[in-house]
Amino acid sequence: MSASKGERMQPDSIIHVGNSVVQHGPSNDRVYLMKLDPDDLPEIAHEIYELGRQNGYTKLFAKVPAYATSHFASLGFVDEARVPLMHKGECAGYFMSKYMDQRRSIPENMERISKVLEQAERKATTSQRASGENEVVRLRLGNLDELAALYSTVFKTYPFPVHDVEFLKESMLADTAFFGVFSDTKLVAAASMEMDMEWQCAEMTDFATLPEYRGKGAAGQLLTSMENAAGDLDINTVYTIARAESFGMNIVFSRAGYSFGGTLHNNTQIAGKLESMNVWFKQVGTR
């Protein structure tokens, strides 16, 4: 279901199932186990399945450490992507999926997805173009109005309510660091680092650049700054879930030394349609 013209689709709900954090709803048409509490095993796998079945969602999706994968595999989940040492620098993290409707497991544009990966791999050793004109700064609470405006301009719809100042504030006060690039006093690009200090990893996400400022290396500058910030913390692994059909973003991560971890088929609703996503990862810790 798509929102009518001028109406923003409501974001999916974030709830607790036991002590685990789960997102679900019609926007992404899925259940997403975002943060597993080990005490919820093994029942959580069945609860995720039942939540999806009762709501008629077409995909179940879970981010889990290696030791939990068997509980999900027994229900038909398969791993679509893997990040080594993602969990506390000790074991891999897996992105596991189960398709309640097999049609969703087949990307519409697999040829383009393959071409994006091929080009990203070819450009892995080339340097990132950067204008060097603008400095990356860590954003504060006083920047949230313009950050929400930037995200509203760039994304018609998005899997999380990044257009909402209150959501951004809650995220910033919890576990997310936002970074921005300014042209004079105007915020023209931004990204975030969502930190999981228990797992000792961070997701590099929410990249957005105003159309007129694209092609100047802002995403690469933001990524470098966030990696430097991660290096000052007890973070071993950084990763991203990038739009699989985006040449630009996949090349940014490949050039920055990230490794490809897998493709999540028809995983995330962005700009009004489901898109496949590529997982890229990099070890930044000292272990």
Scan for tokens 């506390």, then name that residue.
Answer: 88
Highest-confidence range of 1-5, 25-29, 133-137, by mean pLDDT?
25-29
Alpha carbon 260 to its chain's center: 14
Instruction: Tell me the per-residue pLDDT of 74-132, one tens digit each, with 9 for 90 and over.
Output: 999 999 999 999 999 999 999 999 999 999 999 999 999 999 999 999 999 776 655 55
What is the SS3 string spanning 170-235?
HHHHHCEEEEEEEECCEEEEEEEEEEECCCCEEEEEEEEECHHHCCCCHHHHHHHHHHHHHHCCCC
Instruction: Tell me the per-residue pLDDT of 203-215, one tens digit each, with 9 for 90 and over.
Output: 999 999 999 999 9
Domains of the chain as residue ranges with CATH = 13-102 (3.40.630.30), 110-283 (3.40.630.30)
75: exposed, middle or buried (Cβ count in 10 Å: 0-12, 13-18, 19+)? middle
Question: How much is the pLDDT for 3?
Answer: 40
Q: Tell me, what amino acid is at 198?
A: E
